[in-house]
């Protein structure tokens, strides 16, 4: 194994790790605020990739109808709940957030689907279209169960994953797609190693978003509210923070991260309707290393998984997946010793 091979594998691992990092941050965010291990975020990433690919091949992506249908259903569900609770005066507000806002990118998507438009507009509309998916999935499936145990939320999240992967097969078909690279070309490193610009872009985006995350949680009111909800749901509620609103913000951010993952990864690999699951699963290993709580450790863990995967695919490609998922075992053993120091959620549930 010569030095340049090590370098290439390292860069490949870092760019894959960057993807897992973004997905892993979404996992930790949603879990800490809502206690849901949001498995469908991988599917959302795949949908973003397939949507962009459909726009690029001048076809109407099936995700438009999916988002529109979910928006209508979520709006109905929200309206029924509001009327039942006697807060009908908030109806216009609910209709605006659950139906009007998600439908705007649907209409924009229909308008540009068959047109020659700049790539950046396609990416923007794809982002806008995918962004509400997490919130809508939450409203339709997980919100009514928000106070159930972590296990039930987990099982429902898995069920939702299978449901929307099945819908993905119907609306996108079984064939894989690749999108045009956002950045073309290569950068040369000393020693004759070339790095595709797309991989550099993946790493830069991950780095920048990590920074934004850091600032958002450290400085902004919304970020602080999310942190408060994460550390003590009841306490946050007493302080006037609405858990539902915090959850919606968490899902919105997680969907945004998933959409970025999908858009970044689609030019370097072939994406299928069900590709997201594997990405999500590997990112979740990174999040588990971070104890589903710590953003910096999740970031380090995700990058570690990326590099491990890249190295394993070189050394023993047949055993690659086994090597990656084996990492979970020592991590869980280590975590089970460390857990007593962390805030215990079971106690909080009893309260």
Partner 1 sequence: MKNLGSIHPLLARTTSDLDRRQFLKRGARAVAATAAMSSFPVGLVSRARAADSTIVVGFITSMSGPVSSLGIPYDQGIKAALAFKNQVGGKSVKLIALDDASDPTIAAVNARKLIQESNVDVIIGTAGSPGALAIATVCAETKTPLICIANANPQGEPGNWTITIPQPAPLMIAGAVAHMQQAGVKSVGYMGFADPWGDLVYNALMESTPAAGIKVTSNERYARADTSVTGQALKVFATRPDVFVGGGSGTPGALPYLALRERGYKGQFYGTPAIINPAFVKVGGAAVEGLIASTGPVVVFEQLADTNPTKAVSQEFAKALKATVPDATPNAFSGYSFDAWVLFLAAAENAIKTNAPGTPQFKLALRDALTNAREVVGSHGVYNFKPGSRYGNDERSRVLVKLEKSDWKLIS
Using CB under 8 A as the binding rule, whether residue 41 contacts partner 1 is answered as no
When binding is defined by CB under 8 A, the residue of 67, 312, 324, 327 that contacts partner 1 is 312
Using CB under 8 A as the binding rule, whether residue 34 contacts partner 1 is answered as no
The CA distance from 246 to 351, in Å, is 20
When binding is defined by CB under 8 A, the residue of 69, 111, 152, 211 that contacts partner 1 is 152
Nearer to partner 1, 144 or 330 (CB): 144
User: At its nearest, how many Å lie between partner 1 and the CB of residue 10?
Assistant: 11
User: At its nearest, how many Å lie between partner 1 and the CB of residue 275?
Assistant: 5
The CA distance from 181 to 268, in Å, is 8
Binding mask 60-99 for partner 1 (x = CB under 8 A): ----------------------------------------
CB under 8 Å to 246, separation ≥6 — which residues?
33, 225, 226, 229, 236
Nearer to partner 1, 81 or 222 (CB): 81
Query: Six-digit token pair at 275?
Result: 């590709």
When binding is defined by CB under 8 A, the residue of 137, 279, 287, 305 that contacts partner 1 is 279
Nearer to partner 1, 204 or 332 (CB): 204
Using CB under 8 A as the binding rule, whether residue 243 contacts partner 1 is answered as no
User: At its nearest, how many Å lie between partner 1 and the CB of residue 158?
Assistant: 10
Nearer to partner 1, 127 or 308 (CB): 308
CB under 8 Å to 262, separation ≥6 — which residues?
44, 45, 46, 47, 48, 49, 50, 52, 130, 271, 276
Tell me if 21 sits within 8 A of 103, measured CB to CB. no
CB under 8 Å to 242, separation ≥6 — which residues?
none
Residue (of 106, 109, 115) closest to 58 by Cα position: 115
**Cα-Cα-Cα-Cα dihedral of 203, 45, 129, 140, to 10°?**
-140
The CA distance from 113 to 122, in Å, is 9
Using CB under 8 A as the binding rule, whether residue 346 contacts partner 1 is answered as no
Using CB under 8 A as the binding rule, whether residue 179 contacts partner 1 is answered as no
Using CB under 8 A as the binding rule, whether residue 297 contacts partner 1 is answered as no
Helices (H), the chain: 3-34, 41-56, 63-84, 91-95, 101-112, 119-130, 133-137, 150-172, 197-219, 221-231, 233-238, 243-265, 275-289, 295-315, 320-326, 328-338, 345-350
User: At its nearest, how many Å lie between partner 1 and the CB of residue 213?
Assistant: 22
Tell me if 15 sits within 8 A of 199, measured CB to CB. yes
Using CB under 8 A as the binding rule, whether residue 172 contacts partner 1 is answered as no
Using CB under 8 A as the binding rule, whether residue 310 contacts partner 1 is answered as yes
Query: In the Cβ-directed half-sphere of 155, how many Cα atoms lie within 13 Å?
Result: 5
User: At its nearest, how many Å lie between partner 1 and the CB of residue 22?
Assistant: 13
Helix (H) or strand (E) holding 187: strand 186-189
Using CB under 8 A as the binding rule, whether residue 257 contacts partner 1 is answered as no
Using CB under 8 A as the binding rule, whether residue 16 contacts partner 1 is answered as yes
Using CB under 8 A as the binding rule, whether residue 228 contacts partner 1 is answered as no
Q: How many residues bind partner 1 (CB under 8 A)?
A: 47
Q: Which of residues 89-148 bind partner 1 (CB under 8 A)?
A: 141, 144-145, 147-148
User: At its nearest, how many Å lie between partner 1 and the CB of residue 268?
Assistant: 7
| β-sheet bridge partners, residue 194 | 188
User: At its nearest, how many Å lie between partner 1 and the CB of residue 348?
Assistant: 13
Interacting residues toward partner 1 by CB under 8 A? 5, 8-9, 12, 15-16, 19, 141, 144-145, 147-148, 152, 156, 159, 163, 166, 169, 173-178, 194, 196, 265, 268-270, 272, 274-275, 277-279, 309-315, 317-318, 320-321
């Amino acid at each position: 194994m010569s030095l340049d091979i090590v370098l290439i594998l390292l860069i490949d691992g870092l760019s894959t790790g960057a993807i897992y990092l973004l997905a892993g941050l979404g996992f930790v965010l949603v879990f800490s605020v809502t206690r849901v291990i949001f498995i469908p975020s991988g599917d959302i990433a795949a949908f973003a990739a397939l949507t962009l690919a459909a726009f690029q091949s001048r076809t109407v992506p099936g995700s438009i109808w999916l988002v529109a249908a979910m928006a209508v259903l979520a709006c109905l569900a929200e309206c029924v709940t509001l009327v039942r609770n006697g807060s009908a005066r908030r109806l216009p507000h609910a209709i605006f957030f659950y139906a009007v806002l998600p439908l705007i990118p649907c209409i924009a998507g229909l308008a540009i689907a068959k047109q020659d438009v700049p790539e950046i507009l396609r990416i923007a509309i794809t982002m806008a279209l995918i962004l509400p998916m997490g919130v809508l999935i939450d409203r339709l499936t997980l919100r009514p169960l928000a106070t159930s145990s972590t296990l039930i939320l987990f099982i429902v999240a898995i069920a939702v994953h299978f449901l929307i992967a099945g819908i993905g097969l119907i609306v996108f078909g079984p064939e894989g797609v690749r999108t045009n690279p956002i950045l073309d070309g290569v950068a040369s490193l000393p020693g004759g190693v070339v790095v595709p610009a797309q991989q550099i872009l993946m790493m830069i985006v991950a780095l920048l978003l990590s920074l934004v995350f850091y600032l958002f949680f450290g400085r902004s009111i919304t970020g602080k509210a999310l942190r408060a909800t994460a550390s003590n749901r009841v306490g946050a509620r007493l302080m006037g923070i609405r858990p539902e609103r915090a959850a919606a913000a968490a899902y919105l951010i997680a969907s945004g991260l998933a959409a970025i993952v999908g858009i970044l990864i689609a030019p370097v690999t072939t994406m299928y309707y069900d590709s997201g699951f594997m990405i999500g699963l590997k990112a979740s290993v990174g999040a588990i290393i971070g104890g589903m709580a710590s953003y910096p450790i999740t970031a380090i863990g995700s990058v570690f998984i990326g590099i491990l995967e890249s190295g394993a695919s070189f050394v023993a490609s047949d055993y690659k997946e086994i090597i990656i998922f084996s990492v979970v075992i020592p991590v869980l053993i280590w975590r089970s010793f460390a857990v007593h120091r962390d805030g215990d959620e079971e106690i909080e549930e009893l309260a």
